[in-house]
Chains A and B, each alone.
Chain A
């Protein structure tokens, strides 16, 4: 496979704490990968290993076949947009953008031309002489992007680039940034803790947890076939309930869930019989309550346009979330629940 950027079993320790454990990832040229995970999952550390601000304890990083693991940040030619932009406050916009070009020895009219190109790219022509503190947050973000892209880096690193913007501005900037990165066609790694951002920007998403790579793939892959209970819970919504596999057949299995027995496809079944079922809200249907189906009581309902979300408490006290077409049931009503596949994922109970 033609990998442009590759991480090969990369690990990083800070004393006793292991921040990154044997992460391997690869990106083809021009791909945008979003590193997603809760705080402390190691995504920022991976970005700093890529930029060279931290040294890897184990593993290699390769760009276009070249091993850059030991290269200093200065020599990596990786562009980076920092979380707080890190624009030089003592320089104007043009000099900020020119900074990286000067490192490459670009001078004179060539320099002016390339600064102009970079500013045109982010639609900030005419802002050359502005000082950083005179710009809005969105403009600062674009200057940071122009500055990182101007020296034509091999890889672009984005550290939560939208987290410093007003929520109202975030969506618009997200679209602009996506377009820009596509247009430039640069291989990009984005760090974010927001699922929505990762979905909107990333060609693929790498989900991290405790320094380990849980799963990498497109948003659809992560949603439709989560590799672990954690992925199922982190990507999209899902409620968990315990169950036990009673019978395995070639195509189907029978699973006891409280008072009911569900028949589910066999392909997702783990080898152990005690399982956790992670159920998407749209994978349950409400039916009239009887002894054959899982019974639950409606504890809350939230109307949201085309759908309504119900919170239901089962006989054993497990709370499930269900998305249904708005109907007449109200809080306190007793209902039955049946599964609608796909959308029910089974994981062994002993691991979480």
Chain B
């Protein structure tokens, strides 16, 4: 029998990935049917029969479906507008429109609170203008959640529709026109069918993101529970087994989503074939229409930028100076100064930086190895590696937090379990697991674009494996590595979903510090942290893309 060279590292990698990804999930499944008294399905029965239990699952599903619809209604027309028509400011606005994507989830939610919450700017403004006794609305319940989701998730539809439109051969639309098809017939019988894979992809991405969404339901849900918040609260109430059952239920829904995604992706490859030359945008001829479009898109940009601006403004408000006024009366740099001068305030920042940094390095290293093994070495079990890497992408962060908490709460080295809960290692580990799908996807696309004959050429010139790796492969992969690292670092830095389950006071990351400042009423400090998060994320993005340009 002949064992291929890559078999050993391949097997090792599978073991590590299995231990970190599949094993914790399996443990959750086992724990969900086990009590100290033995095996039981009683908790599943409760999930099905008690209204308070299944209503959260149902809420998760319908909120996600409505989110998809709203995101589509906002994102698709915008994509058409920005890729088809030329009007003043199109380029700048087209870039601004992806802004919600760079706002860490919790930070975005908090910005919404300051804007549209009962004492938010917009609410106060309306209250003052209309001389109302109370705030015009309460930012709570499903509508509030949907508002935040629409803001942050329409980007999926916007970006994927634009990509889809750019790959449609412009001569197809000309062909339709030359065959006498008007604008509407061309749209519904040529453009939309060709866009279908992109739209399906966007719909599922949005659905999954909405299903996993935690920050918005956590802060705005009030009495309204979705599955993610329900799991965390069940666990906080000490009902561990029930939390496991809920986790299994949410995981099941998510895995169905993953299966649907992989199915549409496969179909997409079949349907393609036309090559991508983006048609030039058409100038809008009518003056009135053009003015309307320009006005509407600048208002939209303002709406999208408002959360960022609000945070920035509030970060200059010293604690306790702003009470009932419509706008804060006092501004200073005190919040930022105290971030640096007070060790207790600096600590969350340092925590987040090292935990996100460590998780990033580990995720990039593991993904590099995984991609090398599955794309270059074609190690046995490569499909298992691919599958394991894709799982954390589909499974909500809350689920992984619970699963890792389960795995690392018992000392049983033979079972691969040890107590990490309460140590400084658990959060970086959680970030690592959540980073893996992002980093491996980014690096895999780099590997696929890399001509294998370059590595073969290095080998034929007498370069050993290490030298080939260091002098040829890694330098050529630099753009992909930079993208992977950027994504991983920014995700870890802004993480709230897993941190809220796994943190301790000493290891608290930025997101939890923001929340606790907010609870203590120190809006300015919370906003200052939020701005800091935004700035670091933006800097990392810029650095990541700059390195890309150098290698070209």
Contacts of A147 in B (CB 8 A): 175, 179
Assess whether B169 is in contact with A86, with CB atoms less than 8 Å apart. Answer: yes
Chain A nearest CB, measured from B184 CB (Å): 11
Q: Mark A96-118, 1 if CB is under 8 A from B, else 0.
A: 00011001100000000000000
Q: Mark A58-85, 1 if CB is under 8 A from B, else 0.
A: 0000000000000011111111101110
Contacts of B182 in A (CB 8 A): 74
Chain A nearest CB, measured from B274 CB (Å): 6
Assess whether B179 is in contact with A89, with CB atoms less than 8 Å apart. Answer: no
Contacts of A51 in B (CB 8 A): 174, 178
Contacts of A75 in B (CB 8 A): 180
Task: Tell which of A52, A100, A132, A133 touches B179, judged by Cβ atoms closer than 8 Å.
Answer: A100
Q: B164-191: which have CB < 8 Å to A?
A: 169, 171-172, 174-182, 185, 189-190
Assess whether B181 is in contact with A90, with CB atoms less than 8 Å apart. Answer: no
A84 CA / B180 CA spacing, docked (Å):
19
Contacts of A73 in B (CB 8 A): 174, 177-178
A76 CA / B180 CA spacing, docked (Å):
8
Main secondary structure of the interface of A (DSSP, over half): mixed
Residue A303 CB within 8 A of the other chain: no
Contacts of A53 in B (CB 8 A): 174, 177
Assess whether B180 is in contact with A77, with CB atoms less than 8 Å apart. Answer: yes
Interface residues on A, range: 20 to 34
A80 CA / B271 CA spacing, docked (Å):
24
Task: Tell which of A79, A84, A132 touches B171, judged by Cβ atoms closer than 8 Å.
Answer: A84
Chain B nearest CB, measured from A15 CB (Å): 13
Residue A199 CB within 8 A of the other chain: no
Chain B nearest CB, measured from A54 CB (Å): 11
A207 CA / B179 CA spacing, docked (Å):
28
Contacts of A78 in B (CB 8 A): 178
Residue B273 CB within 8 A of the other chain: yes
Identify the interface centre among B169, B172, B174, B179: most chain A CB within 10 Å of its CB. Answer: B179
Assess whether B178 is in contact with A80, with CB atoms less than 8 Å apart. Answer: yes
Q: A12-53: which have CB < 8 Å to B?
A: 51-53
Residue of B nearest to A105 (CB): B180
Known: A89-B272, A90-B271. A74 touches B174 (CB 8 A): no
Assess whether A89 is in contact with B273, with CB atoms less than 8 Å apart. Answer: yes
Chain B nearest CB, measured from A184 CB (Å): 17
Residue B452 CB within 8 A of the other chain: no
Residue A336 CB within 8 A of the other chain: no
Chain B nearest CB, measured from A74 CB (Å): 5
Contacts of B177 in A (CB 8 A): 52-53, 72-74
Known: A73-B174, A84-B171. A133 touches B273 (CB 8 A): yes
Contacts of B180 in A (CB 8 A): 74-75, 77, 100, 103-104, 151
Contacts of B190 in A (CB 8 A): 88
Q: Mark A180-202, 1 if CB is under 8 A from B, else 0.
A: 00000000000000000000000
Assess whether A89 is in contact with B194, with CB atoms less than 8 Å apart. Answer: yes
Chain B nearest CB, measured from A95 CB (Å): 9
A133 CA / B272 CA spacing, docked (Å):
9
Q: B315-351: which have CB < 8 Å to A?
A: none
Assess whether B179 is in contact with A86, with CB atoms less than 8 Å apart. Answer: no
Contacts of B169 in A (CB 8 A): 84, 86
Residue B222 CB within 8 A of the other chain: no
Residue of A nearest to B185 (CB): A103
Chain A nearest CB, measured from B171 CB (Å): 4
Q: B185-244: which have CB < 8 Å to A?
A: 185, 189-190, 193-194, 196
A73 CA / B182 CA spacing, docked (Å):
9
Assess whether A103 is in contact with B181, with CB atoms less than 8 Å apart. Answer: yes
A212 CA / B194 CA spacing, docked (Å):
39
Residue of A nearest to B189 (CB): A99
Chain A nearest CB, measured from B177 CB (Å): 4
Contacts of B194 in A (CB 8 A): 89-90
Assess whether A80 is in contact with B273, with CB atoms less than 8 Å apart. Answer: no
A181 CA / B223 CA spacing, docked (Å):
74
Chain B nearest CB, measured from A218 CB (Å): 29
A89 CA / B189 CA spacing, docked (Å):
12
Assess whether B273 is in contact with A88, with CB atoms less than 8 Å apart. Answer: no
A147 CA / B275 CA spacing, docked (Å):
21
Contacts of A80 in B (CB 8 A): 174-175, 178
Assess whether A82 is in contact with B179, with CB atoms less than 8 Å apart. Answer: no
A36 CA / B88 CA spacing, docked (Å):
39
Assess whether B193 is in contact with A90, with CB atoms less than 8 Å apart. Answer: yes
Residue of A nearest to B275 (CB): A84
Assess whether B179 is in contact with A103, with CB atoms less than 8 Å apart. Answer: yes
Assess whether B174 is in contact with A86, with CB atoms less than 8 Å apart. Answer: yes
Q: Mark B263-283, 1 if CB is under 8 A from A, else 0.
A: 000000001111100000000
A72 CA / B179 CA spacing, docked (Å):
12
Residue of A nearest to B171 (CB): A86
A104 CA / B185 CA spacing, docked (Å):
12
Residue of B nearest to A132 (CB): B273
Assess whether B273 is in contact with A82, with CB atoms less than 8 Å apart. Answer: no
A72 CA / B193 CA spacing, docked (Å):
24
Residue of B nearest to A77 (CB): B180
Assess whether A99 is in contact with B174, with CB atoms less than 8 Å apart. Answer: no
A74 CA / B181 CA spacing, docked (Å):
6
Assess whether A89 is in contact with B274, with CB atoms less than 8 Å apart. Answer: yes
Residue of A nearest to B196 (CB): A90
Known: A88-B172, A90-B271. A99 touches B178 (CB 8 A): no
A148 CA / B178 CA spacing, docked (Å):
8
Chain B nearest CB, measured from A81 CB (Å): 9
Assess whether A151 is in contact with B174, with CB atoms less than 8 Å apart. Answer: no
Chain B nearest CB, measured from A189 CB (Å): 13
Q: Mark B147-176, 1 if CB is under 8 A from A, else 0.
A: 000000000000000000000010110111
A83 CA / B169 CA spacing, docked (Å):
12
Known: A80-B175, A88-B190, A90-B194. A99 touches B273 (CB 8 A): no
Contacts of B271 in A (CB 8 A): 89-90
Assess whether A99 is in contact with B193, with CB atoms less than 8 Å apart. Answer: no
Task: Tell which of B171, B179, B196 touches A99, judged by Cβ atoms closer than 8 Å.
Answer: B179
Assess whether A99 is in contact with B272, with CB atoms less than 8 Å apart. Answer: no
Contacts of A77 in B (CB 8 A): 180
Assess whether B171 is in contact with A82, with CB atoms less than 8 Å apart. Answer: yes
Task: Tell which of B174, B185, B193, B275 touches A82, judged by Cβ atoms closer than 8 Å.
Answer: B174
A169 CA / B169 CA spacing, docked (Å):
25
Q: Mark B376-413, 1 if CB is under 8 A from A, else 0.
A: 00000000000000000000000000000000000000
Contacts of A90 in B (CB 8 A): 193-194, 196, 271
A154 CA / B344 CA spacing, docked (Å):
81
Contacts of A86 in B (CB 8 A): 169, 171-172, 174-175
Contacts of A89 in B (CB 8 A): 194, 271-274
A90 CA / B178 CA spacing, docked (Å):
18
Contacts of A99 in B (CB 8 A): 176, 179, 181, 189
Contacts of B175 in A (CB 8 A): 80, 82, 86-88, 147
Chain A nearest CB, measured from B278 CB (Å): 16
Residue of A nearest to B168 (CB): A89
Identify the interface centre among A51, A82, A88: most chain B CB within 10 Å of its CB. Answer: A88
A313 CA / B328 CA spacing, docked (Å):
91
A52 CA / B179 CA spacing, docked (Å):
12
Q: B86-100: which have CB < 8 Å to A?
A: none
Contacts of B274 in A (CB 8 A): 89
A76 CA / B182 CA spacing, docked (Å):
12
A83 CA / B174 CA spacing, docked (Å):
12
Query: Which 10 residue pairs spanning A and B have beta carbons closest together?
Result: A103-B180, A100-B179, A86-B171, A86-B175, A73-B177, A80-B178, A90-B193, A89-B273, A82-B171, A86-B172
Task: Show 12 A/B contacts (Cβ-Cβ < 8 Å), sorted by A.
Answer: A51-B178, A76-B178, A82-B171, A84-B171, A86-B171, A88-B175, A88-B190, A89-B194, A89-B274, A99-B179, A100-B181, A103-B181
* Residue positions of B touching A, CB distance < 8 A: 169, 171-172, 174-182, 185, 189-190, 193-194, 196, 271-275
Q: 16 extra interchain contacts, Cβ-Cβ under 8 A, other than A53-B177, A88-B190, A89-B272?
A: A52-B177, A72-B177, A74-B181, A74-B182, A79-B179, A84-B275, A86-B171, A87-B175, A89-B274, A90-B193, A90-B194, A90-B271, A100-B179, A100-B180, A103-B179, A103-B181
